[in-house]
Structure formats: C-alpha cells, structure tokens
C-alpha cells in the first residue's frame, strides 16, 4: 500500500499531476484547490489513497491529511466513488465542504460534477454528524445546543422537513415569541419567508 509520495512534480493536467519519485513517475488525481497550490518542479509530499479495480489502479493525492480524511468519509456514502468524492472536494475548500455538509446546504454540494440532488442529500444525512461544525460556525452550534428550547426543536425539525437548512430554520424562529405553541411558532416563522 502506498501511504505517501514525496517527489518533484514533473507535469500538471486538469485534474492530476505526475510526481517523479526517484525516476518513477506516478500519475495522481488531485483536487482543484491542491492543483492550484502545487508548483511544477518543486519537491511535494502528497498523502495517497489507492483505488484498485480490475481494469485500473488509480492514485488520489492530497496535500493535507484533513482533505484525505474527508475524502475517505465521502467514500463511505452509498453511490459515491473516488472520482465523485474528488469532484465534491473540488467545489471549495475542505472547510467550505464540511460546513455545507454540516448545515445541510445541498445546493452547494450539487455544484460538484456528477452530483445530483439525491446524492447531495445522502451526503448530508450520512455525514453531517461525522464532519462536525467548523469553529466559524460556532454561533449556529451555540444557537442549536444552548438557546433552542424543546418547543423550538419541534419547530426547527418541522422547518427542516419543509426544506429549510438548519441555520435558516433557527434564524426563522429566532424572533418568534417562544411562549406560542409549536404550530403557532411555525406559522409565524413561515410568514417571515426565510429560505
């Protein structure tokens, strides 16, 4: 098993590089973000994920271990293969992708080539508790865990069921009188028209 490769990048393509390790050139698929950071003829270390099939032996490389970890989490989702996982990681930074998954932003995820609504929804459902919220998303985490009462939880859940993201659902209920019933709070939130 190849865990890492360290060598000079001799060629760059649209979605891959050739890294020369002591005279052997390895073709490695990389994310768009990593590709923009990699310089030709510079010594580079990439963390490797090997994908071996009957017809091919593909290598996927990452400049950061965190990116590789998220890639491997994406692969655990039914219907997501290595190329699709790489496409998801190419729509933004690792932080942006994690935030989109954690907040249920399926529209952002659907920007990835080959990712439809169903796959985006499956990614959110399967991984939102695994990727964790980013520190920049701490206010949403605080709102969800601390200031949302049980009454709000039912209203939040109802809004999410109607297609709101978690953050939009919380924001829609933020200014609604907490003494109202769940049904009344829901009606008030929907009047606000937050989407």
Tokens of 181: 């019933």
CATH code: domain of residue 72: 1.10.150.20
- Of 62, 83, 101, which residue sits at a domain end? 62
Closest listed residue to residue 97, CA positions, set 64, 134, 129: 134
Let me know whether 84 and 57 are in one domain.
Answer: no
For residues 128 and 125, give the distance between their C-alpha atoms in angstroms, rounded to a whole number.
6
Whether residue 66 contacts residue 98, with contact meaning beta carbons closer than 8 Å, is answered with: no
Q: Which of the listed residues 110, 132, 154 is the one where a domain comes to its end? A: 132
Are residues 108 and 149 located together in one domain of the fold? no
Residue 163 has pLDDT above 70, yes or no: no
The CATH number given to whatever domain includes residue 14 is 2.40.50.140
Confidence band (pLDDT; 50, 70, 90) for 143? very low
Are 169 and 186 within one domain? Answer: yes
Query: Which tens digit of pLDDT belongs to each residue from 65-124?
Result: 999 999 999 999 998 999 999 999 999 888 889 988 988 889 999 999 999 999 999 999
Note whether 55 and 69 are same-domain residues.
no
> Which pair of structure tokens corresponds to residue 175?
């200014």
**Where in the sequence is the domain holding 45, given as residue range(s)?**
4-62
20, 40, 62 - which closes a domain: 62
Largest Cα separation within the chain, whole Å, is 72
CA distance 13 to 30: 10
- Together in a domain, 74 and 58: no
- Considering Cα of 142, then 146, then 148, then 150, what sign does the dihedral take? positive
In this structure, are 124 and 152 located in the same domain? no
- pTM for the model: 0.67
End-to-end CA, the chain: 47
- For residue 94, give both structure tokens: 């690792």
Q: Note whether 89 and 71 are same-domain residues.
A: yes
**Same-domain pairing of 101 and 48:** no
| Domains held by the chain: number | 3
Per DSSP bridges, beta strands 43-52 and 57-62 are antiparallel
Contact 71, 60 (CB under 8 A): yes
CA atoms within 13 A on the CB side of 56: 9
Return the percentage of the chain with pLDDT > 90, whole number: 53
State whether 42 and 71 are in the same domain: no
């Amino acid at each position: 098993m190849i865990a890492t490769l360290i060598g000079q990048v001799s060629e760059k393509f649209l979605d891959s590089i050739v890294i020369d390790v002591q005279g052997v050139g390895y073709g490695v698929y990389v994310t768009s973000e990593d590709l923009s950071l990699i310089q030709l003829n510079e010594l580079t270390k990439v963390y490797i994920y090997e994908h071996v099939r009957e017809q091919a032996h593909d290598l996927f490389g990452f400049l950061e271990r965190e990116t590789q970890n998220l890639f491997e989490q994406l692969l655990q989702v039914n219907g997501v293969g290595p190329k699709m996982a790489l496409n998801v990681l190419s729509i933004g930074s690792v932080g942006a992708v994690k935030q989109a998954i954690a907040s249920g932003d399926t529209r952002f995820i659907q920007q990835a080539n080959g990712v439809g609504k169903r796959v985006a929804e499956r990614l959110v459902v399967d991984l939102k508790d695994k990727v964790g919220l980013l520190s920049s998303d701490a206010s949403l985490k605080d709102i969800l865990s601390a200031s949302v009462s049980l009454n709000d939880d039912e209203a939040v859940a109802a809004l999410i069921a109607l297609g709101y993201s978690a953050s939009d659902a919380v924001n829609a209920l933020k200014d609604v009188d907490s003494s109202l019933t769940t049904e009344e709070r829901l009606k008030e939130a929907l009047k606000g028209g937050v989407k």
